[in-house]
């Protein structure tokens, strides 16, 4: 009796949960990229999926430091998905990052690769 799909949230949570878990492990003052997380999850190339998962992170009670995840160029591609367009930048600056033109200057220096650190 395989009665799945009755609760789709449960099945999807399986994959999303991994993204959340990794994202929550990002230390304060550190930053990573969608591709790095995707690669750590074993689904390299599905970086877009990571962003999709983080989009869902808004409706869960836990705090997910999604602002610490940017694209490979250090660009704040997901800033528009936060409350205000400047919220993501504000959060990063609050952690000591320097954001210029929607780009994290300290991206390479503060880069945190889960595949390497974990």
Binding site for DNA (CB under 7 A): 8, 11-12, 15-16, 33-36, 38, 43, 45-52, 54-58, 66-67, 69, 71-73, 77-78, 80-82
Residue 50: which of 62, 67, 33, 65 has the closest Cα? 33
45/61 with CB nearer DNA: 45
Smallest gap, in angstroms, from Cβ of residue 98 to DNA? Answer: 19
Smallest gap, in angstroms, from Cβ of residue 59 to DNA? Answer: 10
Cβ(77)–Cβ(71) below 8 Å: yes
Smallest gap, in angstroms, from Cβ of residue 36 to DNA? Answer: 7
Smallest gap, in angstroms, from Cβ of residue 24 to DNA? Answer: 13
Residue in this structure with the two tokens 């704040």, named with its chain if needed: 76
12/94 with CB nearer DNA: 12
Q: Give CA separation, 39 vs 81, 95, 108, 111, 116, in Å.
A: 23, 25, 17, 15, 11
85/98 with CB nearer DNA: 85
What whole-number distance in Å separates Cα of residue 46 and Cα of residue 35? Answer: 7
């Amino acid at each position: 009796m395989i009665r799945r799909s009755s609760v789709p949230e449960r099945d999807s949570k399986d994959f999303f949960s991994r993204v959340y878990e990794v994202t929550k492990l990002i230390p304060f003052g550190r930053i990573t990229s969608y591709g790095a997380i995707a690669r750590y999850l074993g689904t390299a190339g599905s970086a877009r999926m990571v962003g999709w998962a983080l989009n869902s992170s808004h409706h869960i009670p836990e705090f997910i430091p999604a602002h610490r995840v940017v694209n490979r160029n250090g660009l704040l591609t997901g800033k528009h998905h936060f409350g205000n367009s400047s919220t993501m930048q504000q959060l990063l600056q609050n952690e000591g990052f320097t954001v210029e033109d929607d780009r994290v200057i300290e991206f390479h220096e503060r880069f945190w690769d889960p595949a390497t650190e974990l």
